[in-house]
Amino acid sequence: MKDKVYIFDTTLRDGEQSPGASMGINEKLKVALQLEKLGVDIIEAGFAVSSPVQFDAIQLIAQEVKNAVIASLARAVEKDIDAAAQALKYAQRKRIHTFIATSPIHREFKLKKTKEEILKQAVYAIQYAKQYTDDVEFSAEDATRTELDYLVEVVTAAIDAGAKTINIPDTVGYTVPSEFTKIIRTLKEKVPNINQAVLSVHCHNDLGLAVANSLAAIEAGARQVEVSVNGIGERAGNAAMEEIVMALELRKDIFGVETGIVTQEIYKTSRLIVSVTGIQVQPNKAIVGKNAFSHEAGIHQDGVLKERRTYEIMKPEQIGRTHSEIVLGRHSGKHGLQARLKELGYTIQGDDFEKVFQKFTEVADKKKAVYDDELIAIVSECLSIDMPEMLFLEHVQIMSGSNALPTATVELKKNNRIIREAAIGNGPVDAIYKAINRIAGISPELEDYGISSISIGQDAMGEAMVSLKYEGKVYSGHGSSTDVLVASAKAYLNAMNKILYLERKKEEK
Ligand SMILES: CC(=O)SCCNC(=O)CCNC(=O)[C@H](O)C(C)(C)COP(=O)(O)OP(=O)(O)OC[C@H]1O[C@@H](n2cnc3c(N)ncnc32)[C@H](O)[C@@H]1OP(=O)(O)O
Ligand SMILES: CC(C)C(=O)C(=O)O
Ligand SMILES: [Mg+2]
């Protein structure tokens, strides 16, 4: 059995410290249950003394989650530790995580205490917490800006006092990987009782180094990492769970360690955090970003079509995504275009293909991306081929407002015939989608929906993205427009047309 690295998830505590990320009690429970499914070892559910909502959320999570240790943060003061213990009362496995800052700048200006006073307070807090649970974690806040010999002294005393996990936070994200390696190695060499505790790291991302620092610490012997989903957290955030887990998973040759994470649950967890916090993931974010498995460049598309591994180091399915994507745009080449045309049911070769490619490059040069409906229009224009039996958006009209039931009227074109339907929904987008479902005659499940701006200014283009689940398969769609509701309708139709196309193919067989 390889060495295990414990995954301590702090999405619900440090992650929630991101401006605007506060979650309600039920949302926190939903996240905790998903983290349990994901297989994290420890869930830091909050900071109990901080507010009644925090306290109640920790209590509820402690009652409901069975397969992870539940932790609460507590300053090194009795009232915080008492509150943490009470909130954790019903947990099957509980951890009190107490901390105090050790660096000169925090000692002098924030805590206004001497080295001796801080060491004494840390030891007292750990001993005090031990009356409630044997599982006490101690963090030396701002450890990485602390004098190393003093840090050795504090860590030795904390373990003597009974701390079972010693956490070394890079609180302000100032450290670089080589320094982290040195800190962990020094602690392993100089702390005489270091083997009686698990050594942990908690890295912030102020210099974009949180993941690199955490991995350096693991290589140097740390066996717990504190992470958050999508890397959310105070200021520039914490080390991203998905990046660390997949680095450890894919580079076992380097790290030689295992985690208990069910990697197929990663994407679902990431999307849940986006939906409960409203904090979007940047498109180029590793592992969970919209573009992490998209290929636009012609040379890459050609490579991936010939052998996926030329430009993909993991399978999207490994992290619970359904597929990688060939995005047709200005940088695409003939192989990528041909493959997409084939998917759409066209076999176009020779001069005809050259004509279509020529027109495609003209269109692509003016746009961010060329979507399926536009491609079909190009083929139809260049080759006078009838449009296949697809649904095209002609018109969408919405009635919505604070006192109105959101109602959508949608007109779609199918085989040169206009079909009109209206529907009421929970919101304008829901109403549009219900009206489209009526015309299409099927009701796929909306798995994911997102809208983002793809240009700036008042006439900015909005791009909508949807994932629809139908008979166990997931279909994605994109649509863009200066009107976000029109973009939403186009994205839905883009995915719906893929479903309808495959359904027709099945019937033809
Ligand atoms: C690096 C981190 O992420 S640490 C965690 C940060 N998270 C949070 O702060 C979110 C939750 N915080 C809160 O709800 C509040 O700040 C509370 C309830 C903890 C404290 O609130 P208040 O009593 O109003 O104090 P306030 O937040 O203004 O100041 C913090 C006090 O705690 C002291 N303190 C800070 N850290 C510690 C510590 N680890 N142990 C003991 N005392 C500490 C500060 O010196 C200051 O004390 P002072 O009032 O004697 O000057
Ligand atoms: C409380 C500690 C672990 C923390 O969040 C930090 O130092 O960043
Ligand atoms: Mg932190």
| Residue ranges of domains in the chain | 3-277, 294-369, 392-508
Asked if residues 245 and 231 have their Cβ atoms less than 8 Å apart, the reply is no
Give the CA angle between residues 174, 242, 2 to the nearest 5°: 95
Please report which residue ranges of 307-457 form alpha helices under DSSP H. Answer: 334-343, 350-366, 372-383, 428-440
Q: For tokens 């919405």, what's the residue?
A: 398
Asked if residues 108 and 146 have their Cβ atoms less than 8 Å apart, the reply is no
For residue 473, give every residue at least 6 positions away whose Cβ sits within 8 Å of its Cβ, in sequence order, or none. Answer: 322
Q: Determine the residue type at 208.
A: G
Helix pair angle (484-508, 428-440), 10° resolution: 20
Choose which residue among 18, 75, 78 to substitute to test ligand 1 binding: the one with the highest number of ligand atoms within 8 A of its C-beta.
75
Would you say 253 is a known binding-site residue? no
Residue with the smallest CA separation from ligand 2 atom 8 is: 171
Question: What is the token pair recorded at 482?
Answer: 């200066």
Q: pLDDT per position in the chain (509 positions), as tens?
A: 579 999 999 999 999 999 889 999 999 999 999 999 999 999 999 999 999 999 999 999 999 999 999 999 999 999 999 999 999 999 999 999 999 999 999 999 999 999 999 999 999 999 999 999 999 999 999 999 999 999 999 999 999 999 999 999 999 999 999 999 999 999 999 999 999 999 999 999 999 999 999 999 999 999 999 999 999 999 999 999 999 999 999 999 999 999 999 999 999 999 999 989 999 999 999 999 989 999 989 999 999 999 999 999 999 999 999 888 888 999 999 999 999 998 877 889 999 999 999 999 999 988 878 887 788 878 878 887 665 667 889 999 999 888 889 999 999 998 788 999 999 999 999 999 999 999 999 999 998 898 877 666 666 678 888 989 999 888 888 888 889 999 999 999 989 988 887 787 777 66
- Interatomic CA distance for residues 336 and 104, integer angstroms: 58
Q: Give the CATH number of domain 392-508.
A: 3.30.160.270
Asked if residues 333 and 298 have their Cβ atoms less than 8 Å apart, the reply is yes
Q: Give buried/exposed letters for 397-408 (b at 16+ CB in 10 A, else e).
A: ebeeeeeeebbb
3-state helix, strand, coil in the chain (%, to 5): 45, 20, 30
pTM of the model: 0.85
- Interatomic CA distance for residues 82 and 97, integer angstroms: 12
Residue 426 CA to ligand 3 center (angstroms) comes to 38
Residue 140 CA to ligand 3 center (angstroms) comes to 11
Choose which residue among 111, 121, 139 to substitute to test ligand 1 binding: the one with the highest number of ligand atoms within 8 A of its C-beta.
111
Q: Is 115 helix (H, G, I), strand (E, B) or coil?
A: helix
- Interatomic CA distance for residues 408 and 431, integer angstroms: 5
Cβ atoms within 10 Å of 426's Cβ, excluding its own: 10
pLDDT of residue 171: 98
Residue with the smallest CA separation from ligand 1 atom 33 is: 111
- Interatomic CA distance for residues 29 and 23, integer angstroms: 10
Residue 121 CA to ligand 2 center (angstroms) comes to 17
Would you say 56 is a known binding-site residue? no
Domain 3-277 falls in which CATH fold? TIM Barrel (3.20.20)
Q: Which residues line ligand 2 (CB under 6 A)?
A: 14, 73, 99, 139, 141, 167, 169, 171, 202, 204
Asked if residues 220 and 254 have their Cβ atoms less than 8 Å apart, the reply is no
pLDDT of residue 388: 65
Q: Is 37 helix (H, G, I), strand (E, B) or coil?
A: helix
pLDDT of residue 117: 98
- Interatomic CA distance for residues 97 and 74, integer angstroms: 6
